């Protein structure tokens, strides 16, 4: 990999920032948009738009989801799907030649693409052309994988600064290329991550770039999650709710084991696990083999409004997250934030950033990962002591209001973007 290109040697960034110094026109680069599970990105986009920021969304891959959250319809930003799949050499050169003809000073930037896939370079040129045409001031990517690869190359080609948000799998998974991630951090204006745990990890792994890494929590639109005290429903057993993709890091197999332990101990309850994923078949077999079919239900993916309804009915939300065998893990599960905001008591494991929001016996109950016995004990405690859950829920709502208001956190992002834009303009003017 090469060292960072001097920003002034490419196309000069736009000077069209508003009077408050924030970028007036931001590109968001995403691997796939929209995605059913990535509500935190939609929340962020909507918060920027409420503040009057112009957005352009770029998706590297076509849609695959068949269900979408209703909030996606409120995003006004245009979405462009960049070319994906295989690109023939003739198509590649037909894309590259006019760019180099119009922007000859950016030819040196292609040295930064030496380890990139051809499709990454092709998409970066597409993106760079749009960045120039639309006078975009800042490029931001979510996840430090292909989206950041393309954002970085487009930034090198145009001189427009870029940043990215690193979450969890893109940091911890065994497939992460640490050399490539180091270069992405080095060439970025700023790196966002969603927990202090992640920030500490990135700073320790890449100490020469530690000052670039900052924490900005994901946020919620708090008005969408009004707080309500949970009341007992004598017509049905208490509902234990879990929400997430059916993948190893969510730890739902531990929840099923915990449910078997709770039944053995004589507790009456029902458990609904919402979400779809590769482990659906394995989890259903586990439920059937334990004869839990009348207690534990896999509900599949459901719309966000239905999830909120279930949260309102639930005695608790359980997030039994684990560190997967691949190293993958959750950064800061959005569903925990949502449950805490609306007043649903929470039980969770001590993985990555979760202890930053679930303070044991203050804002919820925290147990060790991969311990169905401890998980069952925490669930039983809330089943038998609703007053404890009420106390936790009130403290949890205060915590969410203090640190997870998406409008406030998105404003912080724009401040970081503005600093990057200002530095890029200053450098361009000095060259």
Q: CB-based burial of residue 312 (10 Å sphere; 0-12 exposed, 13-18 middle, 19+ buried)?
A: middle
Helix residue ranges, H only, 112-177: 118-133, 146-158, 169-172
What's the CA gap between 352 and 168, in Å, rounded? 9
**Angle, in degrees to the nearest 10, between helices 146-158 and 118-133:** 50
CB atoms within 10 A of CB 423: 13
Same fold, 7-219+406-430 and 222-403: yes
What's the CA gap between 390 and 405, in Å, rounded? 22
Q: What pLDDT, on a 0 to 100 scale, did the predictor assign at position 106?
A: 82
Q: What pLDDT, on a 0 to 100 scale, did the predictor assign at position 22?
A: 61
* CATH top-level class of 7-219+406-430: alpha beta
Q: Please report, for residues 206, 225, 397, the alpha-carbon distance to residue 400 in angstroms, rounded to integers and kept in the order given.
A: 30, 11, 5
Helix residue ranges, H only, 64-218: 89-102, 118-133, 146-158, 169-172, 178-187, 196-205
Domain boundaries in the chain? Answer: 7-219+406-430, 222-403
Note whether 206 and 402 are within 8 A (CB).
no
Note whether 137 and 16 are within 8 A (CB).
yes
Summarised one tens digit per residue, pLDDT across range 249-259 is: 999 999 999 99
The listed CATH number (3.40.50.2000, 1.10.3720.10, 3.20.20.140, 3.40.50.80) that belongs to domain 222-403? 3.40.50.2000
Verdict on whether the full-model pTM lies above 0.85 = yes
**Residue 277, pLDDT above cutoff 70:** yes
Q: What pLDDT, on a 0 to 100 scale, did the predictor assign at position 19?
A: 40
Summarised one tens digit per residue, pLDDT across range 345-384 is: 999 999 999 999 999 999 999 999 999 999 999 999 999 9
User: What phi and psi, each to the nearest 5 degrees, are found at residue 217?
Assistant: -65, 145
**Residue 157, pLDDT above cutoff 50:** yes
């Amino acid at each position: 990999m090469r060292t960072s290109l001097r920003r002034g040697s490419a196309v000069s960034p736009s000077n069209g920032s508003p009077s408050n110094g924030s970028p007036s026109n931001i590109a968001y680069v995403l691997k796939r948009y929209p995605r059913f599970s990535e509500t935190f990105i939609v929340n962020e986009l909507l918060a920027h738009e409420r503040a009057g920021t112009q957005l352009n969304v770029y998706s590297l891959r076509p849609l695959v989801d068949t269900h979408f959250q209703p909030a996606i319809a409120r995003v006004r930003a245009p979405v462009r799907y960049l070319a994906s799949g295989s690109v023939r050499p003739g198509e590649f050169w037909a894309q590259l030649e006019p760019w180099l003809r119009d922007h000859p000073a950016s030819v040196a930037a292609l040295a930064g693409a030496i380890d990139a896939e051809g499709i990454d370079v092709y998409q970066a040129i597409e993106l760079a052309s749009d960045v120039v045409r639309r006078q975009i001031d800042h490029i931001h990517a979510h996840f430090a994988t292909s989206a950041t690869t393309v954002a970085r190359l487009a930034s090198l080609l145009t001189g427009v600064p870029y940043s990215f948000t690193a979450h969890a799998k893109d940091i911890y998974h065994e497939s992460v290329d640490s050399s490539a991630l180091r270069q992405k951090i080095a060439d970025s204006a700023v790196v966002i991550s969603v927990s202090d745990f992640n920030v500490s990890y990135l700073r320790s792994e890449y100490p020469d770039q530690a000052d670039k890494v900052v924490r900005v929590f994901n946020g919620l639109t708090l008005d969408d999650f009004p707080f309500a005290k949970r009341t007992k429903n004598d017509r049905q057993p208490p509902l234990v709710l879990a929400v997430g993709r059916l993948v190893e890091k969510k730890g739902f197999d531990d929840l099923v084991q915990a449910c078997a332990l709770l039944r053995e101990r004589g507790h009456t309850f029902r458990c609904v696990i919402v979400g779809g994923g590769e482990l659906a078949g394995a989890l259903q077999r586990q439920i059937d083999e334990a004869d839990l079919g009348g207690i534990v239900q896999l509900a599949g993916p459901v719309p966000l409004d239905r999830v909120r309804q279930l949260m309102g009915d639930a005695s608790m939300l359980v997030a039994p997250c684990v560190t997967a065998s691949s190293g993958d893990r959750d950064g800061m599960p959005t569903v925990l934030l949502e449950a805490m905001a609306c007043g649903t008591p929470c039980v969770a494991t001590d993985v990555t950033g979760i202890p930053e929001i679930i303070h044991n016996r203050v804002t919820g109950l925290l147990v060790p990962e991969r311990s169905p016995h401890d998980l069952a004990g925490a669930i039983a405690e809330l089943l038998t002591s609703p007053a404890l859950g009420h106390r936790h829920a009130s403290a949890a709502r205060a915590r969410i209001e203090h640190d997870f208001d998406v409008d406030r956190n998105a404003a912080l992002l724009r401040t970081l973007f503005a600093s990057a834009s200002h530095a890029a303009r200053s450098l361009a003017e000095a060259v």
